[in-house]
Structure 1
Amino acid sequence: MATIKIKQIGSPIRRPSDQRKILLGLGLGKMNRVVEVQDTPEVRGALAKLPHMVAIVD
């Protein structure tokens, strides 16, 4: 299955708790951290809720 790399570009400080939980679920939590996750509809939905905090890297 395909994977995608996600980089956190926004801080979870002063964000709602549900957005912080999504970040932790993706394996993020600190600025500029990059993780590689499976490219599934669930992950794409989580990324759609955080366009201001995460970016897909090549």
Structure 2
Amino acid sequence: MANKTIKVTQIGSPIRRPSEQRQTLIGLGLNKMHRTVELEDTPSVRGMVKKVHHLVSVAD
């Protein structure tokens, strides 16, 4: 049984955002516009995505 993954793409800029949101993007592995990373679908990753939902796009 394979682990489920999600694809997260940065669609918004962290400019003029709180440093907490910038650090969350870095924690997700995102630091440039339109960069996509594939992450394991865990509750902690889902929580990070929820924190910056306005800056990212999620595909299952």
Smaller-chain TM-score range?
over 0.9
Which one has the largest radius of gyration? 2
For the pair 1:19 / 2:21, whether they are aligned, the reply is: yes
Name the TM-score, length of structure 1 as normaliser: 0.94
4+ aligned runs moved over 3 Å, structure 1: none
Equivalenced residue count is 58
Q: Which runs of 5+ in 2 are unaligned?
A: none
Name the TM-score, length of structure 2 as normaliser: 0.91
Q: Which runs of 5+ in 1 are unaligned?
A: none
1: distance between equivalents of 2:51 and 2:32? 18
- Percent identity for Structure 1 against Structure 2: 60
For the pair 1:38 / 2:47, whether they are aligned, the reply is: no
Superposition deviation, residue 57 in structure 1: 2.6
2:38 is paired with a residue of what secondary structure? strand
* Aligned-CA RMSD value: 0.9
